[in-house]
Every structure is written in structure tokens, then in C-alpha cells.
Amino acid sequence: MSLPAAKYSSIPPDSPTLPPESVAESPPPPPPETYNHEIFFSRLHEYAFIFNVCLAQLFSLSSLAMTVAPLPIVADYFDNHDPGQLSWFTAAYSLTVGTFILPAGRLGDMYGHKRIFIFGWLWFSFWSIICGFSKSTIMLSAFRAMQGIGPALLVPNAMALVGRTFPMGMKRNLVFSLFGACGPTGWVTGAFFSSLCAQLGGNKLKPSGWAWSFWFLAIATFLVSILSYLVIPAPTTPPPTMTPTTDKNLLRLSQPMRPQSGAQFDYLGCFSGVSGLILINFAVNQAPLVGWKVPYIYYLLVLGVVVFGFFIYVELKIASHPLVPLRGLSKEAGFVLGCIAAGWGSHGIWIYYYYLFLEDLRGCTALSAVAQTLPVAVTGTMAALSTGFLLKRFQVGYVMMAAMMCFLLGAILLATAPVDQSYWTQTFLSVLVMPGGMNLSFPAGTIILSNAMPREHQGIAASLISTMVNYSISTGLGIAGTIAVNTNDHGRDPLGGFRGAWYFGIGLSALGVFIAGWFVYHSRVPKS
């Protein structure tokens, strides 16, 4: 029997069973070791913690948008309009975010999520400064790749902090939904400020207006690193009070655990996994630039597949503490990851060519194109916040099916929109529908994997979802770039290239619908 939490702020597990009146007169002092997994938040402290971890997702998507919305202006600055080279600004960032997330979650499990989280903000800030000093497309692509390691450290450790701090239930689901809602909000915020600096600051913010968007980002991320140090509780922090309390502003939550002492890092798995993913992705994204006839593209692609195959063997057969616990993944987890890979690959293609379509073919300015994307923030937030509610009432397969249908319908609407058509018909409908795919699939996948993993492996659970999201965006853009280059009649028919890329995105989202439908069907068929 345990005593009501509303009456006592901390109750040791070995307390004798006593009447409430006698305990109130003489509360037994809890032993120090019971502090390790319990912590108190004031209501304001709890809100600050949630706000802090959600900023990781907001800034991750903000930075992704910073070389998409003002891309034509950045291309003019570098005097380079080669679509193959320009796509590297976004693909390089997504590549390192998606690749280095794998070890980042495990490092957080081992050395403390707070430490890795703060280091991620500092890394993000430093390389954002460096990005602003780029003098060529190659330099900016390389610096964007280094910048992407920052969000790779932030996102899985932010989600792991949530998974370790809040027990399974509606509150955890709500926080994960808020985290997902920061995706579309962050995208629109990053697109707006980068376009504002590039378009209006070009004559006033020297040497280049677009560079100042990176420098402002560096200032903001540095300030957030200070906030993180102040707000996130240390793993060994004891409760601030031991006296009985009925104060409703004090919340009893599950504290982030101590870093695992003596935990082993899977170095072989980390090296083979990261190397394989980078080689495959580099080959796929470099092919639109130099062509598939260049021999080193095939060599890198084959080598990447072999190395990644070795990574899978290491995780299944060799590693005692695998980077990714493949043996423990359920069928449901595999289904979720497959849907997210297909859907988010489609979304990356949709959004990248959406801005090129508006600015290059419809003649919109960067800020005007951002204004036409504003509904993403509204509908995306609504979809994300509804995920926890939907998962309580429907099986995960139905929620994922709805997300995949949103991806498919949004891609079809934009791919078939005429250039001279009004924004308020197909384009507007596409912008309304597509965020439903993003913000139903991401929170749902995060909730499912977080609940499926033990508390000490929350970083790994977060890594898998984030890896699929970012790596599928980067790889999808590379394949779409090859299609666009080979269907635009050597640059004379850009619309043909855009639509070729979008048709590939439609195929990916249709694959997601098929996976979701297969899972729904088999989950309804009774086992023999």
C-alpha cells in the first residue's frame, strides 16, 4: 500500500503500512538512494523544461528550411544555378542529422542526456557561425554537413529526456505531440527569417543578407544552451524538500536517471553504420551532379551497401551492447519505421521542389513563398496535438494509414498543379493536407518506440525515428535530383524536372500507404 502523492512529496518504497493520521504526525525520513529516480518540478519549471526540449525540434527544422526558402537568392550570390549542387545545401545537412543521430542517442544513454544535449547546442552554434562565412557552394555544403551534427545530438537526447522524465501515459504523449508540432512551426520560422535576411537584408546586412540568418541562429542556439544548463535537472539532483506538502504546484515526475556506469559503446557498429549510411547517401546525392556514368559513384554505392550490411551483422551477431537493438525490435516497430521512411522521403521532395516551383516558375519572392506556406504551421500543429488522442481510440495502423494518405494526396495535388493556376486551388489544398502526414506519423512513431523501449534505452528509441526522418529526406532528395536532371530537357523544361521528382515522391508515399494497409490487414486477421 502506498500513500497518496498529494499528501507527501516523497515516499520511500520500503515504508511500513500505517494509517494516514499517524504518518502525518511523524513522516519517516526516506533514504538517500530513493532520490535517484524522483524529482520535483514547480509548474513553471515543468513548462520551462518542456519548452526547452521542444526547441531542439524547432531549431532542427528551422535550420533545414534556411537553404530551401531563399535558395534562388543564395544561388545568385554564388553565381551557381546548378540544381545538383544547390540541393547539397539541404541534403548535406539532412545527411549528417540522419546519420549521426544513431550514435548520439546511445552516447546520451551512456554519458548523460543533459551533457550531450548542451554540447549539441554549442556545436550547433559554432558551425552556424562558420556557415555564414562560406565563399562557395562546396564550402557551404561542407559546413552545412558539420552543422547538422548539432541537431543530431539534440533531437534524440531531447526525446530521451522526455521519455525518462515522464512515465507512460497521456502527459508523455502530449509532450511528444508538442515536440512533433514544433516541426512545422520551426520550418515556417526558419523559412521566414532566412528569407527576410536574404531578401530585405541583402543591401543592409553586409557582406550578404543570407549569411546573417546563420549568425542570428548561432546567437539563439548559444542562448538556448545556457537555458538548458539552468532548466534541465542533473541526474543526481535530490528533491528540493522533504516535508509533507499539499501544494498542487509541485509535481512528482520520473527524474532522468544517472548515466549508465560501465556501459559499453558499440564502436564497430558506430563506425560501420555511420560509414555505410554516408557512402550510400553521398553516392545518391552526387549522382545528379556528375551523372551515374562516373565509375566512383557505383564504387561508393556498392561499398556503402556492403559496409551497411556488415553493420547489420555486427548488431545481430557480434555487439554485446548494440547501437541499434535489432534483435529486440517488434514487428510493429519495423512497420512504423518503414512508413516513416517512405512518407518523409516523399515530404522532403514535396517541400524542396515546392519552393522552386513558386519562385522559379510562378515568380514569387522568397517571402511571398513563405507566406504561402504558413498554413503548414497551423494544420501541422493541430495534427500533432491530436495524435495522442487518436492513438487512444484507434490502432496505430489506422493512424499511420491516415498519415500516409495525407502524404500521397498532398504530393498528387502539387504534382498536377498547372503553373498559371491560382494558389487557392490545388496548391493551397496540398499545403493544408501534407502537414497531416508529417505530424501524425512523427509523434505516433515516437510514442510507439518510446513505450516499447526500456527506460535506459530511450536515447536509442529516439534515434531510430529521427534517423529515418532525416536520412529518408536526404536520400529521397538525391534520387529525385537524378530524376529531375534527366527529365528537364537539359534545363529547358524545369517544370518537367519538378514533376518527375514529384512523381517519384508520389511513388514513395504510395509505398507508405501499402505498408500501412498491409499492417492494418494483418493486425485484424486472427492468428491461427
Four-residue CA torsion sign, 522, 523, 524, 528:
positive
Q: Tell me whether residue 261 is in a domain.
A: no
Look at residue 16 and tell me if it is in a domain.
no
Residues 429 and 284 grouped into a single domain: no
Counted domains in the chain = 3
Quick: pLDDT tens for 405-422. Answer: 999 999 999 999 999 999
Within 10 Å of residue 170's Cβ, how many Cβ atoms? 11
Question: Strand pairing partners for 436?
Answer: none
The pLDDT mean for the chain works out to: 82
Domain boundary among 320, 335, 366: 320
**Does residue 342 sit within a domain?**
yes
The whole-angstrom separation of Cα 23 and Cα 29 is 11
Domain assignment present for residue 149? The answer is yes
Within this chain, do residues 361 and 380 fall inside the same structural domain, yes or no? yes
Give CA–CA dist 102/318, Å, rounded.
18
**Long-range contacts from 218-225, C-beta under 8 angstroms, 24+ separation:** 218/125, 218/126, 218/128, 218/129, 218/132, 219/125, 220/59, 221/59, 221/121, 221/124, 221/125, 221/128, 221/150, 222/121, 222/122, 222/125, 224/52, 224/55, 224/59, 224/121, 225/118, 225/121, 225/122, 225/125
Confidence of residue 289 (pLDDT cuts 50, 70, 90): confident
Q: What is the pLDDT of residues 9-66, one digit of tens each?
A: 334 444 444 444 444 444 444 333 332 334 546 788 888 999 999 999 999 999 999 9
Give the pLDDT band of residue 7 (cuts 50, 70, 90): very low
Is residue 526's pLDDT more than 60? no
Q: How far apart are the first and last CA of the chain?
A: 41
For residue 297, the model assigns a pLDDT of 94
347, pLDDT greater than 70: yes
DSSP 8-state code for residue 243: S
Task: Looking at the structure, tell me whether residues 339 and 223 fall in a common domain.
Answer: no
Mark whether 48 and 147 lie in a shared domain.
yes
pLDDT tops 50 at residue 108: yes
Least confident of 133-142, 281-290, 442-451: 442-451
Is 450 found in the same domain as 309?
no
- Average pLDDT on 223-239 reads 78
Q: What is the CATH number of the domain that holds 165?
A: 1.20.1250.20
Residue % of the chain over a pLDDT of 90: 45
**Looking at the structure, do residues 445 and 314 belong to the same domain, yes or no?**
no
Q: Is 397 exposed, middle or buried (0-12, 13-18, 19+ CB in 10 A)?
A: buried
Pair (94, 162) in one structural domain:
yes
- Please tell me the predicted confidence (pLDDT) of residue 171: 80
For residues 387 and 439, is the Cβ–Cβ distance under 8 A? Answer: yes
CA-to-CA distance for 500 and 518, rounded, in angstroms? 27
Residue 363's Cα: distance from chain center in Å?
31
Do 138 and 280 share a domain, yes or no?
A: no
Nearest alpha-carbon partner for 328 in 316, 319, 338, 311 = 316
**Domain containing residue 424:** 325-527
Q: Is residue 370 domain-resident?
A: yes
Note the Cα 153 to chain centre separation in Å.
11
**What pTM, to 2 d.p., does this model score?**
0.80
Name the residue with higher pLDDT: 428 or 470: 428
Whether residue 11 lies inside any domain: the answer is no
Please tell me the least confidently modeled range out of 112-121, 128-137, 288-297.
Answer: 288-297
